[in-house]
């Protein structure tokens, strides 16, 4: 299938390139031209889309989420992380079947599409069911391994690494990881470190989300979670830390030296009263930061516009500096850094040879007017209402409020409500 999208403003997110007027050509799942208006010549099109002067940019990368937790939305709010996890989340999750995860993941994919998200870094169980859900939708998913003392075996981890990474044409892939220092024994972490070395893999993990987590690790090991995990050899090939809220000076150096990514989750950190991550300091040290929504049980939504405003707004207050983390930096975090953090460098920018994972932002809405600075408008006043189209791998999955999936939204809502009623009562 060959597609031409014309009459667009284009923000490629390539270094130092500003917005320009032009068009994008797509062959199958790949971008074959991005630039000013151009005669088609020999090209013929299966589909031509008039962008009507609206903005095309790379889709947002949700670099930390737990998709199937949609069933817990608004179920257990207003609680501390540890109580929330142990008394509400873990007991409910224990009742989930693969079929449940299949439907709950589809519900999450719908929500991602309305927010302009084109790929996710998803940490959840019942992986085969989750993979089936996203692949049927035509959505792109990188699984993050979440093994810990309460679930998973190292043999299964090694098998999954092969299963989900062997076919490069699939929309699903896999990165090595584990749940967190506080849920994983030293012995298991050493096995993960061994696997990371065997295949030269980056390792991803929840880290330093709450003060209590850091204090607990210090009591047990005499070290911060970052220092302790590093001492076990987990980060020899890089990786990433989800949350990264409470860090000491030594942690910052380790993160920089081991070339780790940090994925910030500001809405979830507010709602669980975990704190505000030191994003400005990370960026000042050259540490790349990406953005995630975290799961819908703690956030409670999967809205990258909310996260983007929070990333910059919270730093301004935290650092008493209204210049902290300007809009273009936020857009880079939400697109380029996210793609690279989850191992999708082919999805980072709108460029020839890259995947056609892109969104159209409706500029003909009051919150985008006047059009003085479109990048700032997207970060400071944009909302899900502005997502006019979401395309993954050259396929339009959402346009003008309509979903183009393999099943009806009503069926997905019905199933999600059934599951919530059965498990939560």
CB of 165 or CB of 293, closer to a copy of itself? 293
Smallest gap from Cβ 408 to a copy of itself, in A, equals: 11
CB of 41 or CB of 366, closer to a copy of itself? 366
CB of 138 or CB of 382, closer to a copy of itself? 382
CB of 143 or CB of 309, closer to a copy of itself? 309
CB of 334 or CB of 419, closer to a copy of itself? 419
Smallest gap from Cβ 242 to a copy of itself, in A, equals: 18
CB of 177 or CB of 266, closer to a copy of itself? 266
CB of 8 or CB of 379, closer to a copy of itself? 379
- Residue labelled with tokens 């032009």: 22
DSSP, collapsed to helix, strand or coil, labels residue 105 as: helix
Instruction: Report the alpha-carbon distance of residue 192 to residue 20 in Å, rounded.
Output: 46
Strand partners, 241: 205, 262
CB 45 within 8 A of CB 409: no
Instruction: Report the alpha-carbon distance of residue 258 to residue 285 in Å, rounded.
Output: 13
Smallest gap from Cβ 102 to a copy of itself, in A, equals: 15
Smallest gap from Cβ 323 to a copy of itself, in A, equals: 4
Distances (CA, A) of 276 to 73, 223, 273, 408: 22, 22, 9, 39
DSSP, collapsed to helix, strand or coil, labels residue 269 as: helix
Q: State the pairing for strand pair 289-291/2-10.
A: unpaired
Instruction: Give residue 349's region: left, alpha or beta (phi > 0; psi -120 to 50).
Output: beta
Distances (CA, A) of 311 to 211, 234, 263, 287, 297: 20, 28, 11, 15, 20
Smallest gap from Cβ 326 to a copy of itself, in A, equals: 6
Instruction: Report the alpha-carbon distance of residue 35 to residue 352 in Å, rounded.
Output: 10
- Which among 65, 45, 62 is positioned nearest to 105, based on CA atoms? 65
Decide: residue 22, CB within 10 A, 0-12 exposed, 13-18 middle, 19+ buried: buried
Q: State the pairing for strand pair 47-50/2-10.
A: parallel
Smallest gap from Cβ 301 to a copy of itself, in A, equals: 3
What is the token pair recorded at 51?
A: 């962008």
Q: Looking at the chain, how many residues does it have?
A: 425
CB of 62 or CB of 299, closer to a copy of itself? 299
Smallest gap from Cβ 80 to a copy of itself, in A, equals: 5
Smallest gap from Cβ 294 to a copy of itself, in A, equals: 13
């Amino acid at each position: 299938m060959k597609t031409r999208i014309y009459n667009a403003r284009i923000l490629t997110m390539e270094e130092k390139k500003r917005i320009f007027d032009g068009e994008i050509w797509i062959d199958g799942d790949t971008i074959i031209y991005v630039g000013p208006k151009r005669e088609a010549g020999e090209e013929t099109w299966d589909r031509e889309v008039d962008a009507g002067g609206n903005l095309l940019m790379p889709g947002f990368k949700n670099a930390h989420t737990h998709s199937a937790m949609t069933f817990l939305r608004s179920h257990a709010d207003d609680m501390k992380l540890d109580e929330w996890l142990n008394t509400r989340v873990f007991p409910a999750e224990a009742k989930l079947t693969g079929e449940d995860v299949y439907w709950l993941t589809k519900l999450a994919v719908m929500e991602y599409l309305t927010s302009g998200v084109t790929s996710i870094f998803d940490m959840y169980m019942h992986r085969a069911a989750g993979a089936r859900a996203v692949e049927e939708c035509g959505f792109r998913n990188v699984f993050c391994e979440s093994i810990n003392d309460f679930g998973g075996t190292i043999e299964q981890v090694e098998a999954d690494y092969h299963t989900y990474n062997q076919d490069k044409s699939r929309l699903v892939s896999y990165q090595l990881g584990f749940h967190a220092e506080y849920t994983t024994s030293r012995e298991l972490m050493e096995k993960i470190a061994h696997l990371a070395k065997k295949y030269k893999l980056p390792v991803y993990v929840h880290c330093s989300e709450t003060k209590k987590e850091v204090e607990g690790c210090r009591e047990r090991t005499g070290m911060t979670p970052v220092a302790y995990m590093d001492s076990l050899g987990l980060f020899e090939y890089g990786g990433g830390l989800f949350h990264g809220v409470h860090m000491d000076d030594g942690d910052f150096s380790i993160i920089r030296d081991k070339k780790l990514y940090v994925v910030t989750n500001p809405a979830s950190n507010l709602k669980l009263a975990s704190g505000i991550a030191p994003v400005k300091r990370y960026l000042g040290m050259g540490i790349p930061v990406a953005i995630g929504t975290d799961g819908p049980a703690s956030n409670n939504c999967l809205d990258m516009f909310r996260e983007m405003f929070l990333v910059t707004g919270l730093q301004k207050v935290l650092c008493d500096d209204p210049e902290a983390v300007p809009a273009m930096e936020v857009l880079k975090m939400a697109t380029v850094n996210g793609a690279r953090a989850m191992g999708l460098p082919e999805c980072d920018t709108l460029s020839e040879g890259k995947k056609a994972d892109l969104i159209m932002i409706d500029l003909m809405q009051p919150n985008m007017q006047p059009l003085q600075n479109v990048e700032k408008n997207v970060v400071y006043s944009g909302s899900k209402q502005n997502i006019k189209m979401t395309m993954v791998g050259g396929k339009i999955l959402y346009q003008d409020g309509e979903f183009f999936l393999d099943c009806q939204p009503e069926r997905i809502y019905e199933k999600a409500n059934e599951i919530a009623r059965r498990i939560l009562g």
